[in-house]
Amino acid sequence: MKMKVYLTYNVENIRLPIIWQLGQSFAIITNIRTADVKENMGLVALELDGAVDVVEEAIRWLESQQVHVEPIEQNMVEG
């Protein structure tokens, strides 16, 4: 499954290598499309590609790191 999400970082976690950690901990291909850091806040558009349960687990982990995860779209099929 491919899942497109927006990640919102806050002052506490904005300097952490969270997307690197995500790639190390889960069998997921991460693909950053845009990123913006401003006024103590970070916004990243990220695509997560992997098995459905792994993607869901990865999103829960991101939320446990206080990253706000906003899904944009999910594609079950390639497209």
Partner 1 sequence: MTESIVRALKCRECGEEYPVQPTHVCEFCFGPLEVVYDYEKLEGNFTRKLIESRPQNMWRYRELLPIDGEPTVGAENGFTPLVRAERLAAALGVKELYIKNDSVCSPTLSFKDRVVSVALSKAVEFGFTTVACASTGNLAGSVAANAAAAGLESYVFIPHDLEQGKVLGAGIFGTKIIGINGTYDDVNRLCSEVAGKYGWAFVNVNIRPFYAEGSKTYGYEIMEQLGWKAPKHVVVPMASGSLCTKIDKSINEFIKLGLIEDNSTAIYGAQATGCSPISKAVKENTDLIHPVRPDTIAKSLAIGNPADGYYAHRVMRDTGGWAEDVNDEEIVAAMKLLAETEGIFTETAGGVTVGVAKKLIEQGRIPRDESIVLCITGNGLKTQEAIVDAIEKPRIIQSNLKDFDALAAADGVQV
In the list 16, 27, 51, 71, the residue contacting partner 1 (rule: CB under 8 A) is: 71
25 vs 40, which CB is nearer to partner 1?
Answer: 40
| Calpha distance 36→29 (Å, rounded) | 21
The correct pick among 24, 39, 53, 64 for binding partner 1 (CB under 8 A) is 39
DSSP at 28: -
Q: Does 45 bind partner 1 (CB under 8 A)?
A: yes
- Contacting residue, 16, 29, 51, 72, with partner 1 by CB under 8 A: 72
33 is a contact residue toward partner 1 (CB under 8 A): yes
Tell the smallest beta-carbon distance from residue 8 to partner 1 (Å). Answer: 6
d(CA 67, CA 79): 27
Through-space distance between the first and last CA atoms of the chain, rounded to whole angstroms: 11
Kindly give the residue spans of alpha helices, DSSP state H, lying in 5-71: 18-25, 52-64
